[in-house]
Amino acid sequence: MKKNSILMIIAAVLAVGFVFIASDFAGSRSSAQKAPQTTPDVITLAKDAKIGQVAFDHKKHNGGTYTIDQSGAIACIACHHTARPAADIAKFPPLKTAWPADRTTTLTAELYAKDPAGAGANACRDCHARTGEKPKLLDAIPEVKHEGSAAVITLNNQQAFHRTCAGCHTEVKKTVPTTKGPTTNQCTMCHKKAA
């Protein structure tokens, strides 16, 4: 059985010891010489969804508050899967695309703090556009085919986010049954209609 590639990435990340100590951006701010560069804390996603928008706590997801197995912060590349060298990505098929294609760096909090413009932390929607829309960075919405299956999946925004978000929460639930991470069918734990 083929494991979810995101978890394979996470496993590899753990294996090479790439997990960095939970680093609070506020901490690195004081020592920075230039204007502070921080990643967004809470991002409003699914603004176009009839079922309601999603408040995604980016900071808790990558600052170390949330962990997959209590061992350390979630790596940036667990979600930003194109933000590392193509040779590394090739180890986790069906993933293969690096962005930019010739990049030599891997996205981390440190890299982003040092070189926000060059770190290549692109928004998912720049590639995983809504059905019918052309993505900003690619000619077309990405498609993927999993080994052992003939199905070609078109990774529009809904597919890309649901697979990443609910996919990880499902894995977390296996080891931490009390986790609050919403799984696939818990729609309204993510999507909230404006009051």
Q: State in angstroms the smallest separation of the CB of 30 from ligand HEC.
A: 18
Is 181 within 8 Å of 169 (Cβ atoms)? yes
Figure out which of the listed residues 66, 85, 86, 105 binds ligand HEC, where binding follows CB under 6 A.
66
CA separation, residue 187 to residues 27, 129, 166 (Å): 35, 20, 10
How many residues lie near ligand HEC (CB under 6 A)?
Answer: 70
Q: Does position 5 bind ligand HEC by CB under 6 A? A: yes
Q: Does position 51 bind ligand HEC by CB under 6 A? A: yes
Q: Which of 110, 105, 61 is nearest to 83 (CA)?
A: 105
Taking the C-alpha atoms of residue 62 and residue 79, their distance in angstroms, rounded to an integer, is 10
Mark residues 95-134: x for contact with ligand HEC by CB under 6 A, - for none: xxx-x-------x-x--x--------xxxxxxxx-x----
The two tokens of residue 12 are: 């590899």
Q: Which of 85, 77, 86, 71 is nearest to 7 (CA)?
A: 77
Q: State in angstroms the smallest separation of the CB of 18 from ligand HEC.
A: 11
Residue with tokens 């299956």: 149
Q: Does position 36 bind ligand HEC by CB under 6 A? A: no
Angle at the Cα of 96 from the Cα atoms of 111 and 103, rounded to 5 degrees: 35
* Stretch 139-178 residues interacting with ligand HEC (CB under 6 A): 142, 144, 155, 157-158, 160-166, 168-169, 172
The two tokens of residue 84 are: 């590392």
- Interface with ligand HEC (CB under 6 A): 5, 39-40, 43, 45-46, 48-49, 51, 54, 56-58, 60-62, 66, 68, 74, 76, 78-82, 94-97, 99, 107, 109, 112, 121-128, 130, 137-138, 142, 144, 155, 157-158, 160-166, 168-169, 172, 179-182, 184-187, 189-191
